[in-house]
Amino acid sequence: MAHTCVLIPGDGIGPEVARAARKVVDASGADVTWVEHLAGASAVEQGHDSVLPKATVDAIREHGVALKGPCTTPIGGGYTSVNVALRKKLDLYGAVRPVRNLDGVKTRFDDVDIVVVRENTEGLYSGIENEITDGVVTSLKVATERACSRISEFAFQYARERDRRKITVFHKANIMKLSDGMFINSARAISESYPDIEYDERIIDAGCMRLVQDPEDFDIILCENLYGDVLSDLCAGLVGGLGCTPGANHGIEQSVFEAVHGSAPDIAGKGIANPLALIMSSVMMLNHLHRLHQDENARDAAVRIREAYDACLKDGETTGDLGGSLSTDGFADALVKRMG
Ligand code: NAI
């Protein structure tokens, strides 16, 4: 089955890792046609009046699926974050960030296999900030019953479809009794309909300590926006860092797949960025296309890519951040070679 996917190269290392991911997907046997669109600082540099051009949003609306490189939001000039804007515009309410140990990537723990499910549209990312008076500002944390319930429903459905065993909500409802209180009340109510999935709650500070002491204890972590942002980087650290942590942002009609890392301006243009996280995100994209359209070719292509990077990592064929010596393109070429 043929699919058209939007490719957003993004900024900094974005174009380098996006080119590598595209090369790998194209060699995997997946029937994907790409349409490229701009977002981020590169969009403004190329004459658009916004970091998120309308044509980019329209293309994702039309095709339903995008693979996105990291974007830089220019500081100053009043630009809002590309990522926050995209999530809000397309109502991409459910972020999924899986982390698992990879053979060949040395870490402190051996059995980490965690998925962070993050509410993507509200909380402290509502962007409602006020200067009350000189030297006094407020930042509003928003929680709606609708958003809390739908992210819980999303997490439980995700767990059931993928045979995951347990959901743990991280929260601070002992302090934020109304907002986080609403979050856990919604999750508790939804959990009643999923007796096959264990339900647990942790106050976030104690939960973080437990996470770095005994990560095997966690399966799916469900949380609101800011906690999810912080926890997914923490979990990335458990399995080898940002270079190997993919992600997806799901809405009702659209899904955008992207690595957890940013545009890494410190290494941009040097050809040394690790494209693995975006390649793993493209595997999530192919699995999504399989689920959506029962397209077994997309699933088989995803398996081929996954087997190729598992084998490369095991044999030490990696970029420098993971201890190897391959360039960004060199790693992509190694995967293509493995796929035959
Ligand atoms: P970052 O993730 O870009 O970089 C943090 C550190 O990790 C840097 O030392 C970088 O070199 C390294 N790193 C990141 N990705 C790597 C890769 N694939 N291979 C090897 N090393 C890698 O985070 P930072 O520096 O806080 O943000 C830089 C820019 O990225 C900012 O403008 C930020 O707003 C943006 N950003 C964009 C995101 C997105 O578009 N989804 C997500 C996070 C940040």
Residue 321 CA: nearest ligand 1 atom is 20
What helix, strand, coil percent values describe the chain, rounded to 5?
A: 45, 20, 35
Q: How far apart are CA 280 and CA 259, in angstroms?
A: 8
Residue 275 CA: nearest ligand 1 atom is 18
Confidence tier at 265 by pLDDT (50, 70, 90): very high
Query: CB burial class (10 A; 0-12, 13-18, 19+) of residue 320?
Result: middle
Instruction: State percent of the chain over pLDDT 70.
Output: 99
258 forms beta bridges with 68
Q: What is the model's pLDDT at position 108? A: 87
Ligand 1 pocket test, candidate residues 16, 96, 263, most atoms within 8 A of CB: 263
Give the pLDDT confidence of 78-136 residue by residue, as tens digits: 677 898 889 989 999 999 999 999 988 888 888 999 999 999 999 998 878 999 999 99
Give the pLDDT confidence of 275-314 residue by residue, as tens digits: 999 999 999 999 999 999 999 999 999 999 999 999 999 9
Query: CB burial class (10 A; 0-12, 13-18, 19+) of residue 206?
Result: exposed
Q: What is the model's pLDDT at position 140? A: 94
Give the pLDDT confidence of 162-205 residue by residue, as tens digits: 999 999 999 999 999 999 999 999 999 999 999 999 999 999 99
Q: Any catalytic annotation for residue 89?
A: no
Count the residues in the chain: 340
Active-site residue (options: 158, 180, 227, 229): 229
Confidence tier at 33 by pLDDT (50, 70, 90): very high
Residue 278 CA: nearest ligand 1 atom is 18
CA of 164 to the centre of ligand 1 (A): 30
All domains in the chain, ordered by first residue:
1-100+241-340 (3.40.718.10), 108-238 (3.40.718.10)
> Cβ(261) to ligand 1 under 6 A?
yes
CB atoms within 10 A of CB 1: 12
Q: 63 is written with which tokens? A: 């095709």
CA of 262 to the centre of ligand 1 (A): 3
Instruction: State percent of the chain over pLDDT 90.
Output: 89
Ligand 1 pocket test, candidate residues 81, 261, 282, 327, most atoms within 8 A of CB: 261
